[in-house]
Structure 1
Amino acid sequence: MDALLVVNAGSSSLKFQVFGIVGMDLTRQIRGKVDGIGTRPRLQATAADGTQLIDQTYDAKAVRDLPAAITEARRWLLTLEGFELQAVGHRVVHGGPDYTRPVLIDATVLDHLAGYQDLAPLHQPNNLAPIRLAMEINPDVPQVACFDTAFHRGHAKHTDCYALPRSFYDEGVRRYGFHGLSYEYIAERLREVASRAAKGRVVVAHLGSGASMCGLRDGRSIESTMLHRPSTGCRWDTPGQLDPGVVLYLILQKGMKAQAVSDLLYHDAGLKGLSGLSNDMRDLLASDDPHAALSVAHFVYRCVLNGGMLAAALGGIDAFVFTAGVGENSPPIRARIVEGLAWLGAELDPAANEAGAALISTATSRVAVHVLPTDEELMIARHTLALISAPNA
């Protein structure tokens, strides 16, 4: 069977999926991941029917970094029979101002993408590591980069520029928006389950391991809460939309070096910093610590605030969509956000919400509230197949 491999590499985990190809149709064959890299490494994979294919732990020294994790995953994948690899699709967080769609990767493109590492220091180096390795090991297999920023590149210029001298915009200092692969998938999925709403004004809340929100009009991104870097927006693992005066205070008054400020913002901020406990929403909801309650209230407030901002950008709202880990699986968070958006006409059906229904608003709600699972990997696979199937590929 012809197959595609989809890779999503992070700092402490490597996720991969194998899709079978029949014509232009894709069928998911395998889901896998290596997590706990450098601490408690574990390789797991399941078949499409849920059958466990491997569950193996490693010594921390054996899989101490991402390249080692890639090596172990590749070693296992090579034991599989019946798959003919046609291409590899990679999630790349930052495409900068130049990449507005997926692209076949060559050495020139790879060098160009490496130039965006300062824009996404936690993500870009890890995204590019498996690409480099794959190009070395299998130079004849096409590698495709799919960008989290590309879906937002159609924004009007006045929405993406900062009030700085124009030269900064020209050198790439602008608002980009992220989680674009997720939003693109939701836009397509919404056309299937609620075609009328999909043509209107939709606010999507991607509340996963990172969080952001996006305003869609007729399936196109009009506005996003994430700005220049993927550390902004209604995040919980970083401080979100932080007053630049705070950064100046840390440097000028506290005497912190730039790297120390970066470490603070990327590693010690967000809900973990605010609560002193965890970035995991499940831990915070289960805790009776008042700081945990404060963190949850802060997060919900930011989501409600951003929901109102996006509704203003869209000129109103017809539908609201929750997606990603918390958005799909946390009825309490959904309930509190919808309650905060009641002034826009959103009315929650508590029973449907608790049951995890696909539609959790009442029949009389002026805003339809949906819960839709996202599938960034399938979006990457679709883009990859389309690109390698193009006549000039």
Structure 2
Amino acid sequence: MREAFLIFNAGSSSLKFALYESRSLDLLCRGVLEERSEGMKLDIAGPLAGPFLEAPRPAETGHAGYIEWFLNLVRHRLGDLSLGAAGHRVVHGGAQFAAPIIVDDMAMAALEALVPLAPGHQPNNLMAIRAVARFWPDLPQIACFDTAFHRTQPRLAQLFGLPRGFSDAGILRYGFHGLSYEYIASRLPEIAGSRADGRVIVAHLGHGASLCAMRERRSVATTMGFTSLDGLMMGTRCGAIDPGVLLYLIRERGMSVETVADLLNNRSGLLGVSGISDDVRTLAASDDPRANEALDLFAYRIVREVGSLVSALGGLDLLIFTAGIGEHSALVRRKVCEQLRFFGLELDEQLNASGAMTISSDASEIGVYIVPTNEELPIADAVRRLIGISERPGPGITSQHG
């Protein structure tokens, strides 16, 4: 009987899942369930994809229904497969968790306390942990944190200009998308050779979006901060904003804190600016000038933040695009790269349009690449290390934490 690790990545708008063979980390299946305008969509691939494709779709939408559907299929349709452990993406680890952990009651209580810092993600992450515990009460579960990768940043990169007592209490720039950045960092040597340990900016552009500056494949600075609201404009999140705007909305417009939170998290970004959609594909296909303005602002904010991170790095050798928009939108990549030509960056239009891995021209001083991310594989690797399974060489993930 084969043993597998069950991996959950519960995002703000989708549920990603995977099964990896426990010793080799060979992929058995990897998929995503998400709600789109045309309805629920399932994308899944791998040797064990068949049972999931053949099964009726979930009766309920949303994370709770998706998780229940997936766990029932694992339990009832994959009878020749045993589970050795489960691993989970947990968005916020706070100052306490800088490496993957085995989940226990004390850890769950600590992670629950961090829900206010990631209200669109943390509840979904913890929901998946609880659901697995209901199905398999004795199964070891490992939590891997999006914030952990950024704990290598210098102290100055983590501080706000607030009285010291607030920093001492944990109000810091944490950064997110760390599992994605960890995976990209592991791929850089095979992609870029000796330049991998140089000055690198990775653009994780999806429904949530951020940039990470790396040196020696470790985080030096990032655009997200205390919460995942900071930095770039995103699908429905506003990104960096003058805090005086928030005070104005509360004091002068009479908006409640809950209304402002909903505005910043769910009604801003590409959706709010365009008034049309939070989906880049929909906006790119639209003739409405508001759609183009939203895309232009999205690219402009990326370019502005690239400039900030280049300053933190002291230059730039590589620019990496990843995640849904970064991997699939030639338009967004072109809009960004055109504004970075003064850095000596030259985009090859044909390579960009085709989605090739290398999209910079031979004349470019900066290497530009598209690297599909895989947040589930670093989780599987951490699970294997923490529960102590001996392994043969796997697909090449090296954790820099623990």
Structure 1 distance, partners of 2:262, 2:185, is 35
Structure 1 distance, partners of 2:147, 2:57, is 35
What does 1:1-393 correspond to in 2, within 5 Å? 1-10=2-11, 12-22=13-23, 25-36=24-35, 45-48=44-47, 53-54=52-53, 56=55, 62-63=59-60, 65-78=62-75, 79-236=77-234, 237-389=236-388
Matched letter for residue 212 of structure 1: S
Contact 1:40–1:58 (Cα < 8 Å) also in 2: no
* CA-to-aligned-CA distance 1:281-308 (integer Å, 9 cap, x gap): 1111111111111101101101111111
**Could you tell me how far 1:52 is from its partner in structure 2?**
6.9
Matched letter for residue 317 of structure 2: D
Change (3 A) 1:358 1:177: same
Matched letter for residue 302 of structure 1: R
Contact 1:43–1:57 (Cα < 8 Å) also in 2: no
Q: Where in structure 2 are there 5+ consecutive unaligned residues? A: 391-402
Structure 2 distance, partners of 1:169, 1:40, is 44
Contact 1:45–1:55 (Cα < 8 Å) also in 2: no
Greater RCO (CA < 8 Å, at least 6 residues apart): 2
**Could you tell me how far 1:385 is from its partner in structure 2?**
1.1
Structure 2 distance, partners of 1:246, 1:275, is 20
With normalisation by structure 2, the TM-score equals 0.91
Change (3 A) 1:292 1:43: closer
Structure 2 distance, partners of 1:44, 1:290, is 32
Contact 1:8–1:16 (Cα < 8 Å) also in 2: yes
* CA-to-aligned-CA distance 1:306-337 (integer Å, 9 cap, x gap): 11111110000111111111111111211121
Change (3 A) 1:44 1:335: closer
Matched letter for residue 296 of structure 1: L
Change (3 A) 1:44 1:349: closer
Structure 2 distance, partners of 1:224, 1:390, is 34
With normalisation by structure 1, the TM-score equals 0.93
Structure 1 distance, partners of 2:153, 2:359, is 30
- More divergent stretch after superposition (216-225 vs 75-84): 75-84
**Could you tell me how far 1:137 is from its partner in structure 2?**
3.2
Total equivalences in the alignment: 386
Structure 2 distance, partners of 1:10, 1:193, is 27
Contact 2:205–2:321 (Cα < 8 Å) also in 1: yes
Structure 2 distance, partners of 1:308, 1:11, is 28
Change (3 A) 1:16 1:320: same
**Could you tell me how far 1:44 is from its partner in structure 2?**
6.1
Change (3 A) 1:304 1:373: same
* CA-to-aligned-CA distance 1:107-158 (integer Å, 9 cap, x gap): 0001000000010011111110111222243232110001111000111111
Runs of 4+ residues over 4 Å off in structure 1:
39-45, 49-52, 55-59
Change (3 A) 1:323 1:45: closer
Matched letter for residue 319 of structure 2: F
Contact 2:7–2:379 (Cα < 8 Å) also in 1: yes
Contact 2:22–2:84 (Cα < 8 Å) also in 1: no
Matched letter for residue 90 of structure 1: H
**Could you tell me how far 1:234 is from its partner in structure 2?**
1.0
Contact 1:41–1:63 (Cα < 8 Å) also in 2: no
Contact 1:8–1:14 (Cα < 8 Å) also in 2: yes
**Could you tell me how far 1:192 is from its partner in structure 2?**
1.8
Contact 1:34–1:73 (Cα < 8 Å) also in 2: no
Change (3 A) 1:140 1:49: closer
- More divergent stretch after superposition (41-50 vs 68-77): 41-50
Structure 2 distance, partners of 1:229, 1:147, is 14
Contact 1:360–1:370 (Cα < 8 Å) also in 2: yes
